[in-house]
Structure 1
């Protein structure tokens, strides 16, 4: 049985009573993606009365279209020292694996400069350590969470592959393996024959690869969020479709201005992904350098049985994940902000990237493209913290391309705020110090 939050009665008594939007919730969660929904469920189990506010139904943002890969092996920041040299190519190639929209360049320069600043040895190693700490706890947290809602089968802990096609890239693969093993990431070097034993549909051109046993994938990212939301609703969590346009925090509580009116609650959890920055600024006074990686995927509904596990191409720099609804091709990154329309040619380009990787051509009938926004901070670490007046503003955003991977462990960390007035962390969870908002003040 879940223990109730010890100060729940006190929190209800201190609720702001001004205005017409007084709510009986103890906390409002802004954002119904995988992170916000997992946190809402965890908070409800701590005895909180929770209202989740999002303009869409649960799981319809970036959580809907992610690659589905539990990328615990990805312990390195999103950029490396080659980024600066790649910017001209990023500007010239609209369908390349990494694209920077030239119209967005002036706005992105401050963020890019902070990324480069974080590539210095000390901050870079701090980022690696922070990512690794979350990832090492992620699979166990997901198994615990999905088992608790009687849906453990949604997660396939069957490993993943990084494959290469040319003798010329064998050295690059060996370097990658050295980097992974140097950070304690379990991986095994395989020749081409062994790769095809694990994934028989791959073509003879695959020379070899790396197998990561402590990774996996979910069979349907959207279904995961829907099932978490259903479990949360069973515990009294209410989901409200409304856009949160502004917020204020004071010693008396938090006031949210929504498209459905004013909402007054004792505290708020901002888990709005790429849309979090303005709310954080208005409620904490801190302007976080949050930018957006626009991610694309192409879904092939007739190819769900083609692969047994997620497979990434070293040379082509994209991933293929078997889901219940088909084979998902994903992995391209675009920096163009939140407002420009999707450039779906980037999604359709994934068809060409898959050519030649399989012994038989993929069935592209009824393929569907998608684009979503990943929230990215310059050090590649999320913000998991509480801030604002009396610590009433809780924060869980900025997980860049690891939102799915790190959602369950993030929910457990947020649950620590509910179960204690201190910021102590339970055994098996990483310390909160790398994820503090204060690193941007």
Structure 2
């Protein structure tokens, strides 16, 4: 049992102790966003409690691709996707799927998604993404240094590789990143293999993003953050938040009900519960168009010589070298929070990985791998909800970071600490307001 895994008796005992104490800020959510926020708030002088229904890194923070993807400056709502979408949906190895029973429920979200393809909205959203990206790597360097785990942040860049795409299209993609201010180099297939000898001879071109990074263990990174949080005096409570009370302006405190009648009080509340934030935000008076992207990975035990993440332009997936082997990730499925894992969505990643790493994965089978599915909290404009509640001076939000939760965690935590402390923030927070919808 790790330091952050508690028995039922431990949880009950901890709850009884914590319920008697008042803290400055209660953070709901012990994923990478919640933990980074908790530490930033502690550094700002607050006493902090974190509440999570399952514990540290129990959701998307456990099995994400581990990529600090500051090169991703373009919103997901891309008009170019419209022509490709039918083929993606029909391809059994494709990166995108909507469970049929969930289509009507997801339809309102997709309608908003389409609206965000309009040029003006797309430009606005891209600028807001860049504002978060610009200091994210530096913020992470600071955070891992403070937590004594700098080895969990590797700054070797990442590759986007092309197998069959004509050079003219590769150059167009390269220029789009370059013109957006991304540090990128266009390299040949030979240069790709000079960086990563295990990659296939079928790769003809690559984009080398030189100022991004990855972690070899996303879950361990979260546990190291949790260790630092507790070292600084923070309290971690395991339990499901069922009700929020005393949330109006002028109230003396915020009351958080966990489980059956256990109440925790604090001066302020930060909602950072990822894909589970929507119903809690609704209790606070906000109807947020948050949808769940069910992301899959297949962790293969084979070791490679890869030094950095490798994404495929044509195959729409990513390979990240990790301590436990090779993490294959990148599929998107819309199906809600309750449907079980679909093994085929994880298994479809292996044929793609074999094409890029033919010698490393020769003879590999899906039965050797570890299948996993997590919930990405996604909003139709590709921006998170960050900032203060316009209805209460005690309520704050940090959720909906979609595919860039790991990337933005450290910097968005700095922004939230500044917000909660009432200081001028490093970037304009207006694009991330909860009432923008």
Asked if Structure 1 and Structure 2 have the same fold, meaning a TM-score greater than 0.5 normalized by the shorter chain, the answer is yes
Q: Which residue pairs with 2:283 in the alignment?
A: 282
Name the residue aligned to 1:265.
266
1:12-27 aligned at under 5 Å gives the runs: 21=19, 23-27=21-25
SS of 1:355's equivalent in the other structure is helix
CA contact 1:161–1:212 (8 Å) conserved in 2: yes
Contact preservation (8 Å) 1:24, 1:49 = no
Q: Is the Cα contact below 8 Å between 1:22 and 1:265 reproduced in 2? A: no
Q: Name the structure 2 match of 1:162.
A: 160
Contact 2:94–2:315 (CA<8 Å) still a contact in 1? no
1:387 corresponds to which of 365, 389, 403:
389
Relative to structure 1, the CA distance from residue 198 to residue 108 in structure 2 (aligned partners, 3 Å threshold; closer, same or farther) is: same
Gaps of 5+ in 1: 1-19
Partner residue, 1:298: 298
Q: Where do residues 111-260 of structure 1 align in structure 2 (5 Å cutoff)?
A: 111-166=109-164, 168-248=165-245, 249-250=247-248, 251-252=250-251, 253-260=253-260
Pairwise CA distance, 1:361:
4.2
Q: 2:225 aligns to what SS in structure 1?
A: helix
Distance (Å, rounded) in 2 between the aligned partners of 1:95 and 1:254: 47
Distance of aligned partners of 1:237 and 1:131 in 2 relative to their CA distance in 1, 3 Å threshold: same
> 2: distance between equivalents of 1:390 and 1:165?
53
Q: Which whole-Å deviations, capped at 9, do the CAs of 1:222-265 have from their partners, x for residues lacking one?
A: 01100000001011111110011222312322222211522222
Q: 1:92-115 CA deviation, whole Å, 9 max, x = no partner? A: 455520111121111111111111
Q: Is the 8 A contact 1:306 1:327 kept in 2?
A: no
* Alpha carbons 2:293, 2:332 under 8 Å: kept: yes
- Is structure 2 residue 330 aligned with structure 1 residue 328? no
How many aligned residue pairs are there?
Answer: 413
With structure 2 as the length reference, what TM-score do the two structures score?
0.91
Give how far 1:83 is off: 4.1
Structure-1 separation of matches of 2:82 and 2:383? 20
Q: Give the whole-Å Cα distance in 2 for the aligned partners of 1:93 and 1:191.
A: 29
Kindly state the Cα deviation for residue 389 of structure 1 after the two structures are TM-superposed. Answer: 4.5
| Structure 2 match to 1:371 | 373
Whole-angstrom distance in 2 between the partners of 1:388 and 1:133? 22
In structure 2, C-alpha distance between the alignment counterparts of 1:101 and 1:438, rounded to whole Å: 29
Aligned to 2:10: none
With normalisation by structure 1, the TM-score equals 0.90
- Hey, what does 2:315 align to over in structure 1? 316
Conservation of the 8 A alpha-carbon contact between 1:344 and 1:371: no
What value does the CA root-mean-square deviation take over the aligned residues?
Answer: 1.7
Name the counterpart of 1:399: 401
The C-alpha deviation readout for 1:133-153, integer Å capped at 9, x for no partner, is 111111000001111122212
Shift of 1:127: 0.6
Q: Provide the residue aligned with 2:13 in structure 1.
A: none
Q: For residue 417 of structure 1, report the CA deviation from its aligned partner.
A: 2.4
Write out aligned runs for 1:47-86 (5 A): 47-86=45-84
CA distance in 1, matches of 2:355, 2:377: 33
